[in-house]
Amino acid sequence: SREIRLKSRPVGLPQASNFELATVDLPAPGPDEVQVRNLWMSVDPYMRGRMYDRPSYVPPFQLGQALQGGAVGEVVASNDPDFKPGDIVSSMFGWREYYNASPKALAAGGLGAITKLDTHGIPPQAFLGVVGMPGLTAYVGLLRIAALKDGDVVFVSAAAGAVGSVVCQIAKLKGHTVIGSAGGPEKVAFLKSIGVDHVIDYKATPDVVAELAKVAPKGIDVYFENVGGVHLEAAINSARPFARFALCGMISQYNETGKPEGPPNIIQAVGKSLRLEGFIVSNHVDMFPQFAKDMAEWIKAGKITWKETVEEGVERAPDAFVKLFTGENLGKMLVKLA
Ligand code: NDP
């Protein structure tokens, strides 16, 4: 089985030389173990944080070891009576073609567990995107953290990505005015196709503060923050009193080697009684059942759609990962392994 290991810790934008492809001999599964052939693995921005050697809410990746991350695979052999060959499972054993693991030993691990997927006809890779962690992130951030309420005008950055595109669609299906920011004409066209009211192409018009003020003359009530920097500055500038910000991520800072760009107007958060609340999706997994039910209905009713950008082969995984930071993904970035 082939796997991708972290060879060195990236400085700035990750390079191919930070990764290495290794081949391991996988034994037959041991007692209580299943053997899984991964079909899909996810690359996600948070993985960049795990490449730094520093304490965080998830431990750092170790040099010389396979990376980890969300994956969906098929059980090929099983010594666990609850799993049989052909079962589709999700796990955190991404970045590799096959793995052996004990579902029982991992069961207590929440999002780290090996979970049998009842796909209901939804393509299995969607469990790494729209019906998986990114979809849940959108749902939690918008409905719980930002406490979306009637009439809110919603601003979303990285709006064409895995999380952002679900945020936009949930807000639209609930009848809100939505403003999305993304880079490039293809993303603009996609966002318009899913009903986003105003799209800011921040690469074409980098003065996001002015652009947002133009398209939201009365201001915004909710900001779903994925990017940081000038996007946060724009959102604060256009925030109406008691606006709610869900601070989901600030991807523009993840490769920053110097001092990150900060919103110089953050002080307005005090005067406007803004609530800027960070959150981590893994602390809100209690919303998963309701999320899964709603999402299944919305997909069935054609109210939610999604895009995927796919690279083929585990050896392409580092490239796929780096593309998250150069914006070459539309929708969920995935690696097809089999
Ligand atoms: P995306 O699918 O949105 O991919 C990343 C996108 O970010 C790119 O396509 C690119 O789009 C944009 N981007 C990258 N660099 C920059 C930059 N310097 N400035 C502006 N935009 C940039 O990824 P996800 O949907 O998986 O993640 C989106 C955000 O959500 C991230 O910040 C991530 O860390 C966060 N997140 C947080 C979670 C939590 O629990 N808090 C859970 C999951 C995700 P474009 O071309 O438009 O620039």
The whole-model pTM stands at 0.92
How many Å lie between the centroid of ligand 1 and the Cα of residue 161?
A: 6
Model confidence pLDDT, tens digit, residues 124-156:
999 999 999 999 999 999 999 999 999 999 999
Model confidence pLDDT, tens digit, residues 41-51:
999 999 999 99
CB 232 within 8 A of CB 250: yes
For the chain, the C-alpha Rg in angstroms (whole number) is 20
pLDDT the model gives residue 58: 82
pLDDT the model gives residue 267: 66
Residue nearest to atom 14 of ligand 1 (CA): 325
Q: Which residue has the tokens 């997927």?
A: 117
pLDDT the model gives residue 194: 98
Domains and CATH numbers, the chain: 2-129+306-336 (3.90.180.10), 133-282 (3.40.50.720)
**How far, in Å, are 37, 69, 239 from residue 90 at the CA level?**
11, 10, 39
How many Å lie between the centroid of ligand 1 and the Cα of residue 325?
A: 8
* Cα separation, 171 vs 164, whole angstroms: 11
Model confidence pLDDT, tens digit, residues 109-131:
566 899 999 998 999 999 999 99
For the cut 90, the answer to whether the pLDDT of residue 278 exceeds it is no
63 Cβ contact list (under 8 Å, min separation 6): 5, 6, 7, 8, 9
Side-chain-side CA neighbours of residue 67 (13 Å)? 31
How many Å lie between the centroid of ligand 1 and the Cα of residue 44?
A: 8
The response to whether residue 167 sits with its C-beta less than 6 Å from ligand 1 reads: no
The response to whether residue 308 sits with its C-beta less than 6 Å from ligand 1 reads: no
Atom of ligand 1 nearest to the CA of 181: 47
**How far, in Å, are 160, 182, 190, 192, 230 from residue 185 at the CA level?**
11, 9, 9, 10, 20
The two tokens of residue 101 are: 């693991």
Side-chain-side CA neighbours of residue 78 (13 Å)? 17
* Cα separation, 233 vs 131, whole angstroms: 31
ipTM score above 0.90: yes
Q: Supply φ then ψ for residue 209, to 5 degrees.
A: -60, -50
The response to whether residue 103 sits with its C-beta less than 6 Å from ligand 1 reads: no
Q: What is the mean pLDDT of residues 53-74?
A: 93
Q: DSSP labels for 214-239?
A: HH-TT-EEEEEESS-THHHHHHHHHE
Q: Is 175 left (phi over 0), alpha (psi -120 to 50) or beta?
A: left
The response to whether residue 163 sits with its C-beta less than 6 Å from ligand 1 reads: yes
pLDDT the model gives residue 56: 81
CB 48 within 8 A of CB 254: yes
CB atoms within 10 A of CB 161: 29
Sign of CA dihedral 119, 106, 27, 24: positive
Strands 98-101 and 34-42: antiparallel
Select from 188, 255, 205 the least CA-distant residue to 228: 255
Q: What is the mean pLDDT of residues 95-110?
A: 89
Model confidence pLDDT, tens digit, residues 19-29:
999 999 999 99
pLDDT the model gives residue 260: 80
The response to whether residue 325 sits with its C-beta less than 6 Å from ligand 1 reads: yes
Model confidence pLDDT, tens digit, residues 316-331:
999 999 999 999 999 9
Question: Which DSSP category does 66 fall into?
Answer: B
pLDDT the model gives residue 221: 98
pLDDT the model gives residue 315: 98
